[in-house]
Chain A
């Protein structure tokens, strides 16, 4: 693969990576949110694979395959199970409506470019110039987790944050060391499992309500 083609593919993956995050803010149907998250996982895998190929690093290729399996297969599968257990989880009344969310997304992306300057300035590789995309996805994840009312939307917010950080790690540094990546991935998979179980318990104890209804504990 020529360097030019590889760079173009990388740009394409980064673009789609950001676009899927914005799409998550735009859509309300849970099944389409999960599809978007799967696509985002694939794009992250693409980024990891392209960078591994550029650096000709076998270990990095292994990490990329593992990331792909986790983020594009296992986690979406777990989310679909949550969705089956808790049907009718459509986001009915987010705190911020869709058009305002999209405006916020544009603002957050600009903010990400400002915040990522020290990272871009420092890293030697051309791929580092795409790191703001990762930061933008992190910020969009925060926004989603803060403004949505359904349990599953909050899980997706947490996953967006995680995908964003993973993208920053790949683009700015070529990926964190293997053992750290293993630990982080295991933690993530277990955290989603815990959230899946808690979601069904929430559904059992509170019924199909918004998280706004969680008012047992307060001061």
Chain B
């Protein structure tokens, strides 16, 4: 490794957390437009760091102090950076109507949120990973309760209580892992390093690890929106400002799932893959069932998107449960594809909300006639979410299904895709009603603000990226392969 490259990777280790943190400080001082631009730059910096760390996956990890990055980290950083770039670019349009104090609070908290997520995927230590994930709950609480209406205060309360309790379960699991590691001769801070735990997996006590795995899956599963602990998700995602929903749905769920992936590498080595697989399969199928049932009669389009997130997290859990490398790679691709598309969908939904002033599907009929560009963006993002080609979600869903059949879990694939078909029909029906339905009676507000072209351009770029990923992975293929190998534990 050349010295300049080494400097670049060290910088790339610190930047993903430092850049948004700086941007949040800037938001405290400078006017909001400057702060919003700083936020977009910070998001781009996260993306650039992810790419820098991905550039050379051969020396498998880079470490500095408490931070460490391997291919999986780089993949997650790319996902966080890409989704954050979309969400941060959409923020100014959303903040136009807010007061100065609210804008400032929004920009500070949103950047702190990015800081916490970056720290979570960069932490070398499972304890710090937990601290970072819990911190995301704290900084997003007031973003969810941003509007101070009855509904948003209620959503914020349920979100904080349920997620704090859920994540506390994960901490109990972390303590159990620590106890197992101490008993196996680990000491101090290194006893919780995932590198150390992976290396000493054979000495960890299986009974205790079994207990820990259940607790960790339940705990981080809460935050990842997996059933049966999902009930905070539709409330929080429907009440948060659109760009925050984009971040929460697009990457926060995946960051929590990243924690599950890290634990899975350790528990699979101690207990064999069957135990985690069973738990993940149950969670995956339950999530898909919950999403499919509640999508059918959904009346609110942001909740529609929220339940679609539960559906997609279920699919990611399904791919992870199959455990073979190709399925893990598909699940990771699904994380990125879903993040990009869902961010676009939520931001477009935010524009629709600003245009029509209503969160109800029934009040948004005939959008294509009124706002063709916006309707096209929202419609195409839904097509991607439905898993149709050429978008990457099509490729990853297909790969998960094939891997499931090959690994002998045909029954699980059959159940899952029946449920996905139900969800497909429900979303398609609601989407048709919103976009094409009969035009509404003359609006009482004829001059409703239409989104600026610039706001839609970045959303179109996001969709183009999701489509491009579905056709050609290019240099990302090597990274995806390396990341999947880390989780699946070598080629099997």
Q: Which residues of A contact B (CB under 8 A)?
A: 115, 117-119, 121-124, 138, 142, 145, 151, 154, 157-158, 161-162, 165, 168-169, 172-174, 176-180, 183-184, 186-187, 190-191, 194-195, 197-198, 201-202, 205-206, 211, 214, 216-217, 219
Q: Does B460 contact A (CB under 8 A)?
A: no
The interface residues of chain A lying within 8 Å CB-to-CB of B153 are: 198, 201-202, 205-206
Pairwise interchain contact A138-B172, C-beta atoms closer than 8 A: yes
Supposing A118-B207, A119-B208, A161-B168 touch, asked if A172 and B175 sit within 8 A by C-beta, the answer is: yes
The interface residues of chain B lying within 8 Å CB-to-CB of A180 are: 125, 127-128, 130-131, 189, 192
Would you list 12 pairs from A and B whose C-beta atoms are within 8 A, ordered by A residue?
A118-B210, A142-B165, A158-B161, A174-B182, A198-B141, A198-B153, A198-B156, A205-B149, A205-B153, A214-B157, A217-B234, A219-B303
The interface residues of chain B lying within 8 Å CB-to-CB of A157 are: 165
Q: Does B488 contact A (CB under 8 A)?
A: no
Q: Which of B125, B148, B211 contacts A205 (CB 8 A)?
A: B148
Q: Which of B138, B192, B238 contacts A217 (CB 8 A)?
A: B238
**Among residues 397 to 416 in chain B, which have CB atoms less than 8 Å away from a CB atom of chain A?**
none
Pairwise interchain contact B131-A184, C-beta atoms closer than 8 A: yes
Pairwise interchain contact A177-B127, C-beta atoms closer than 8 A: yes
The interface residues of chain B lying within 8 Å CB-to-CB of A206 are: 150, 153-154
Q: A183 CA to B134 CA in the complex, in Å?
A: 10
The interface residues of chain A lying within 8 Å CB-to-CB of B125 are: 179-180
Q: A145 CA to B164 CA in the complex, in Å?
A: 11
- Residue-wise, chain B 172-210 has the 8 Å CB interface mask toward A (1 for contact) of 101110111011000011011000000000000101101
Q: A142 CA to B222 CA in the complex, in Å?
A: 15
Q: How far is the CB of A30 from chain B (nearest CB, A)?
A: 17
* Majority-rule SS of B interface residues: helix
For A214, the closest partner residue in chain B by CB is B154
Q: How far is the CB of B211 from chain A (nearest CB, A)?
A: 5
Known: A184-B131, A191-B134, A217-B235; 4 extra A-B contacts, CB below 8 A, are A187-B138, A202-B154, A206-B150, A217-B155
- Residue-wise, chain B 129-171 has the 8 Å CB interface mask toward A (1 for contact) of 0110011011001100100111101111110110011001001
Q: How far is the CB of A118 from chain B (nearest CB, A)?
A: 4
Pairwise interchain contact A183-B178, C-beta atoms closer than 8 A: no
Supposing A151-B157, A169-B175 touch, asked if A190 and B150 sit within 8 A by C-beta, the answer is: no
Pairwise interchain contact A198-B165, C-beta atoms closer than 8 A: no
The interface residues of chain B lying within 8 Å CB-to-CB of A158 are: 161, 164-165, 168
Pairwise interchain contact B160-A191, C-beta atoms closer than 8 A: yes
**Among residues 428 to 457 in chain B, which have CB atoms less than 8 Å away from a CB atom of chain A?**
none
**Among residues 294 to 309 in chain B, which have CB atoms less than 8 Å away from a CB atom of chain A?**
294, 297-298, 303
Supposing A194-B160, A195-B160, A219-B234 touch, asked if A165 and B183 sit within 8 A by C-beta, the answer is: no
Q: How far is the CB of B294 from chain A (nearest CB, A)?
A: 5
Q: Does B28 contact A (CB under 8 A)?
A: no
**Among residues 86 to 128 in chain B, which have CB atoms less than 8 Å away from a CB atom of chain A?**
125, 127-128
The interface residues of chain B lying within 8 Å CB-to-CB of A202 are: 153-154, 157
Pairwise interchain contact A122-B208, C-beta atoms closer than 8 A: yes
- Residue-wise, chain B 206-237 has the 8 Å CB interface mask toward A (1 for contact) of 01101100000000000000000000001100
Pairwise interchain contact A124-B151, C-beta atoms closer than 8 A: no
Q: How far is the CB of B397 from chain A (nearest CB, A)?
A: 25
Q: A205 CA to B153 CA in the complex, in Å?
A: 8
Q: How far is the CB of B102 from chain A (nearest CB, A)?
A: 15
Q: Which residues of B contact A (CB under 8 A)?
A: 66, 125, 127-128, 130-131, 134-135, 137-138, 141-142, 145, 148-151, 153-158, 160-161, 164-165, 168, 171-172, 174-176, 178-180, 182-183, 188-189, 191-192, 205, 207-208, 210-211, 234-235, 238-239, 294, 297-298, 303
Pairwise interchain contact B238-A195, C-beta atoms closer than 8 A: no
Task: Count how many pairs of residues, one from A and one from B, have CB atoms less than 8 Å apart in the complex.
Answer: 144
Which of B137, B178, B238 gathers the greatest number of chain A CB atoms within 10 Å?
Answer: B178
Pairwise interchain contact A115-B160, C-beta atoms closer than 8 A: no
Pairwise interchain contact A183-B127, C-beta atoms closer than 8 A: yes
Supposing A115-B211, A179-B189 touch, asked if A184 and B160 sit within 8 A by C-beta, the answer is: no
Pairwise interchain contact B205-A198, C-beta atoms closer than 8 A: no
Q: A183 CA to B135 CA in the complex, in Å?
A: 9
Q: How far is the CB of A172 from chain B (nearest CB, A)?
A: 5
Q: Which of A162, A173, A178, A187 contacts B179 (CB 8 A)?
A: A173
The interface residues of chain A lying within 8 Å CB-to-CB of B135 are: 183, 187, 190
Q: A117 CA to B176 CA in the complex, in Å?
A: 12
Pairwise interchain contact B211-A118, C-beta atoms closer than 8 A: yes
The interface residues of chain A lying within 8 Å CB-to-CB of B211 are: 115, 118-119
Supposing A118-B208, A122-B180 touch, asked if A165 and B171 sit within 8 A by C-beta, the answer is: yes
Q: How far is the CB of B399 from chain A (nearest CB, A)?
A: 32
Q: A128 CA to B179 CA in the complex, in Å?
A: 10
For B119, the closest partner residue in chain A by CB is A183
For B140, the closest partner residue in chain A by CB is A194
For A179, the closest partner residue in chain B by CB is B189
The interface residues of chain A lying within 8 Å CB-to-CB of B176 are: 118-119
Q: Which of A122, A178, A195 contacts B183 (CB 8 A)?
A: A122
Pairwise interchain contact A216-B151, C-beta atoms closer than 8 A: yes
Q: A216 CA to B235 CA in the complex, in Å?
A: 10
Which of A177, A186, A195 gathers the greatest number of chain B CB atoms within 10 Å?
Answer: A177
Q: Which 8 A-B pairs rank lowest in CB-CB distance, beginning with the nearest? A: A183-B131, A180-B127, A118-B207, A216-B151, A177-B189, A118-B208, A172-B179, A187-B134
The interface residues of chain B lying within 8 Å CB-to-CB of A165 are: 168, 171-172, 175
The interface residues of chain B lying within 8 Å CB-to-CB of A178 are: 189
For B133, the closest partner residue in chain A by CB is A187
The interface residues of chain B lying within 8 Å CB-to-CB of A117 are: 207
Pairwise interchain contact B179-A123, C-beta atoms closer than 8 A: yes
The interface residues of chain A lying within 8 Å CB-to-CB of B189 are: 177-180
Q: A187 CA to B119 CA in the complex, in Å?
A: 14
The interface residues of chain B lying within 8 Å CB-to-CB of A121 are: 207
The interface residues of chain B lying within 8 Å CB-to-CB of A168 are: 172, 175
